[in-house]
Structure 1
Amino acid sequence: MPTDPSLLAAAMDVPLVDHHVHGPLAHDVTRRELEMLLTESDREIPAGTTVFDSQVGFAVRQHCAPLLGLPAGASPEDYLARRSEHTAAQLAHIFLERAGVSDWVVDTGFGTDAIWSLERMDAELSGRTHEIVRLEALLEEVAAGASAADLQERFEAAVKHAAQHAAGWKSIIAYRYGFDFDPARPGACEIREAAQRWLGGRSSDAEDDVPLRVDDPVLLRWLLHVACDTGLPVQLHSGYGDPDLDLHRCDPLLLTNWLREVEHTGSSIMLLHCYPFHRHAGYLAQVFPHVYCDVGLGINYSGAACRQIVSESMELTPFSKLLFSSDAWGPPELHYLGSLLWRRATAAVMSEWVENGDWPAAEAARILRMVGRDNAVRVYGLEGVRAE
């Protein structure tokens, strides 16, 4: 069924808030490096295969090639040759500016040496930037100069300080442990004992440049409770990701008891990505007033098939609880595709519902803007705010 042209035009005009994103690549990459960055796997690509023979690879060739002056569907060789004529900075400007994003809500806690900083995004892009502070990274930074006895005080002070400028928090407990953690808030003695295990396990002759990595479940769940104390939104990676996680332990339904524990804090819990558990996330967003969700990341990697994911994400999720994100990191094509594919898919899905007589035609554009922009502006308090 063809998409309603007027609804597609409305979708393309929405100034999106990308409520979870990272910076674009700060350096040029080879074909192999680019292909590795177009998959969530960290394993070598099998000989005789290419990532360009995948949904995301087809999306790059179909939708990104025209921005470089090539026909849609250009061959990988032609695309890579034309791409190599541009610097990383030029590519970032081409693709990010065409994404139509007014506000980038940036997770600054991962791979920062390889990508643009929040400050550079703020200085060079037309969209505003807002910082999401990664809790595990903040604890690891604080722990470098702390003892087990004073870690709690130091971290809670650091959170209080960061809350003065942060738009919200991000946790990767899904990677470091999983969602099947004890939902109760740990006490001071439990935190101190966990800190002793963590910091005490670091050898005295450890190299200064070897980073600490927090994976103790007591400390990880303590971070979440401290973040919720601030009342700011807390983002949680959920579902699909790289092989460093155990996907079956990243089902957001495992968070149910913890969601009850923190409901009183007033902090909004933002379930990120969620695929293939996006229906589970939609249920949680329906039954808990403080839970929100998106299907970012999965949209890019499912390419032409993302319409079904978008449709399924709107089965139970209240429209006021669903947000847009790209979760783009690195190749700037992902920042652009996250926007374009979401706009096209959402307009197509809504057009079908209107055509079938299941939706009032006059409401589709309003809901599209709500999901793409208005919900994030409300939850993160972005109206009139600019990152310093």
Structure 2
Amino acid sequence: MESLQAAEEKDLPVQFHTGHGGGSWIDFPTMNPLCLVELLKDRRVMNRVRIVLLHGGHPHEEDTSYLTAQFANVYTDFSGAFYLSSLKGVERMAALLERAPLDKVMYGSDGVMFPEISWFAHGRFRVQLTRLLNRMIEEGCLTEPRARQVARMICFDNALDCYPALRQRVGAV
């Protein structure tokens, strides 16, 4: 709670690793982001500090989607949904958008350890997001102009809104 209070004082979001990870320390029963509900409902957290659920909670994207819809201060990123899913990347991304407000989901590469991961993740994300938005246009969920706007939100604007220090660095866009 001390770190959450410090983040609130400095207007910084707090990131939580959600979903699958690596190593022998994984506690499989607690990987679902729904395990964070009590923390998110705590009066010291709710609507006071922005929480970012990293990796979209993969493979629990629908639960993460629900949390972002239910809690005004909860955001997420696509970093686990689109490239850790192999052939089902678009479906996992769609699951994350099932309930989540479009202004609370953002790009994340999870590009750590090797530069190639960042390069691969960026290219794969663009392909998967294009497929998803085209499907949403075909099904009448979005118009083409709105899909372009959503792409910009997910790829750029939402991160600037969630991380105010970024907006200061890039200036008003």
CA contact (8 A) 1:297 1:327 kept: yes
CA contact (8 A) 1:300 1:334 kept: no
CA contact (8 A) 2:61 2:81 kept: no
Which stretch has the larger CA shift, 280-289 or 330-339?
330-339
Map residues 161-176 of structure 1 onto 2, 5 A cutoff: none
Hey, what does 1:239 align to over in structure 2? Answer: 19
Structure 2: which 5+ runs fail to align? none
> Whose helix fraction is larger, Structure 1's or Structure 2's?
2
1:248 to 3, 24, 29: 29
* SS of the residue 1:300 aligns to: coil
Partners of 1:283 and 1:324 in 2: how far apart?
18
Map residues 82-121 of structure 1 onto 2, 5 A cutoff: none
Is 2:96 the counterpart of 1:316?
no
Hey, what does 2:62 align to over in structure 1? Answer: 279
- Supply the AA of the counterpart residue of 2:29: H
How many percent of aligned residue pairs carry the same amino acid? Answer: 27
CA contact (8 A) 1:297 1:338 kept: no
- Supply the AA of the counterpart residue of 1:294: D
Give the 3 Å change call, closer, same or farther, for CA 375–264 of structure 1 in structure 2: closer
Structure 1: which 5+ runs fail to align? 1-220
Instruction: State the shift of 1:288 in Å.
Output: 0.7
Instruction: State the shift of 1:258 in Å.
Output: 1.1
Give the 3 Å change call, closer, same or farther, for CA 287–383 of structure 1 in structure 2: same
Which stretch has the larger CA shift, 363-372 or 244-253?
244-253
* SS of the residue 2:54 aligns to: strand
CA deviation string 1:61-114 (max 9, x = no partner): xxxxxxxxxxxxxxxxxxxxxxxxxxxxxxxxxxxxxxxxxxxxxxxxxxxxxx
Instruction: State the shift of 1:248 in Å.
Output: 2.1
Hey, what does 1:352 align to over in structure 2? Answer: 135
Instruction: State the shift of 1:384 in Å.
Output: 4.0
Give the 3 Å change call, closer, same or farther, for CA 345–249 of structure 1 in structure 2: same
Q: State the number of aligned residues.
A: 165
CA deviation string 1:229-253 (max 9, x = no partner): 4331001101110032213212111
Partners of 2:111 and 2:119 in 1: how far apart?
9
Instruction: State the shift of 1:373 in Å.
Output: 0.6
CA contact (8 A) 2:133 2:147 kept: yes
- Supply the AA of the counterpart residue of 2:10: T
Hey, what does 2:169 align to over in structure 1? Answer: 385
Is 2:41 the counterpart of 1:260?
yes
Hey, what does 1:362 align to over in structure 2? Answer: 145
TM-score by length of 2: 0.86
Partners of 1:250 and 1:230 in 2: how far apart?
28
- Supply the AA of the counterpart residue of 2:12: L
Partners of 1:270 and 1:323 in 2: how far apart?
10
Hey, what does 2:155 align to over in structure 1? Answer: 372
Partners of 1:368 and 1:334 in 2: how far apart?
21
* SS of the residue 1:328 aligns to: coil
CA contact (8 A) 1:240 1:298 kept: no
Partners of 1:226 and 1:257 in 2: how far apart?
20
Partners of 1:249 and 1:222 in 2: how far apart?
22
- Supply the AA of the counterpart residue of 1:375: N
* SS of the residue 1:263 aligns to: coil
Partners of 1:342 and 1:367 in 2: how far apart?
14
Instruction: State the shift of 1:225 in Å.
Output: 4.2
Hey, what does 1:166 align to over in structure 2? Answer: none
- Structure with the larger RCO, 1 or 2 (CA within 8 Å, 6+ apart): 1
Between structure 1 and structure 2, the one with the greater Rg is: 1
Partners of 1:264 and 1:359 in 2: how far apart?
29
